[in-house]
Amino acid sequence: MAELRWNPLINDWVMINSNRQARPNMPKGYCPFCPGSGKLPDSYDVLKYDNDFPALSQNPPVPDEVTGNSSIYKTKPMYGKCEVILFSSEHESSLCEFSVKHIRKIVDMWSERFIEISKDKNIKYIFIFENRGELVGVTQPHPHGQIYGYSVVPKKIELEINCFKSHFEKNKSCMFCDINKDEAEFGKRIVYENEDFIVYVPFFAEYVYQVYIASKAHRANITQFNGKEKDNLALTFKMITGMYDTLFNKKFPYMMCMHNAPVNIGDTDDFYHFHIEFFPPLRSENVQQFNASSETGVWAHCNPSAPEDKAVELREALKRFQDKL
């Protein structure tokens, strides 16, 4: 069974894919992403790999007959694309350990895949992300991220688009450009910045050590960056992931979620602004922050910390990381 099912309570589609339960557990000591596994080239730097057990497919099956006589329920084929981006052939490595030059290759791969996937007119949103650590459910520690191409715009992105558009129509300006300006003037939540990117704990942070990376210039998606901006995005990734790993002197779990403008739905570039959201599941060194009833049931997040205080901790961790370079 693999299909999209309509949730009429919030006007959203849910992916139902029981086939993914058949994903095998890898034998201990075996990594399919390492050279010599028989699945990949003998050597590589950065590599695109089609997911062996994709949640979405460009040749999806016909949905099952499960709606009965309902006038409310509906299904549609689970169309889309799932790719794995292997960051390195080195099994025991992570973004902050790579050179900026190597991370730039990852940035270029993301950009290339964004362009290629967007050529499929059935794809409406391209989501670039990385899950890191067992606390976020990662079972394959080899350094990698993923790209999902969705046939529908996800609900959170739909909400963002509506808010960006409303702000643009009211103020004749990009909301994220205005947020960047406010954060730069206030200063206390800024963690890191370079010529092209600014990083801060958001004013409305939902997670204790959450940060946003935002482009200083107005860009709608990753393909619009010039060479210097891509270099500085690579540098920003090294600094922020190094900051996280230095915070508690251990590999820090996170969900990295890159927000680009949607594709193939009309022009949103004037008001949609590229940014990256990090969601770390730790509230302290050894305590996990859970999404419990309030967060999960009604999307009402409660952050048990002050964003301004956590920005101080993160700046100090970044300084320690930079001192080691």
- Known catalytic residues are 144
CA nearest to 88, candidates 132, 30, 44, 131: 44
Say how many residues make up the chain: 325
- Residue 24 DSSP symbol: P
- For 65, residues 6+ apart whose C-beta sits below 8 A from its C-beta are none
Integer angstrom CA distances of residue 289 from 71, 92, 178, 226, 228: 40, 26, 30, 37, 36
Chain centroid offset of residue 27 CA: 28
CB atoms within 10 A of CB 145: 20
List strand residue ranges (DSSP E) for the chain, in order. Answer: 2-7, 12-17, 47-50, 75-77, 80-86, 125-132, 144-150, 190-193, 197-200, 211-215, 254-259, 275-279, 282-284, 287-288
Q: Angle of helix 307-324 relative to helix 227-247, nearest 10 degrees?
A: 100
Question: Contact 78/4 with Cβ under 8 angstroms?
Answer: yes
Q: Closest Cα to residue 248, out of 288, 287, 283, 285?
A: 285
Q: What are phi and psi of 308, to 5 degrees?
A: -65, -40
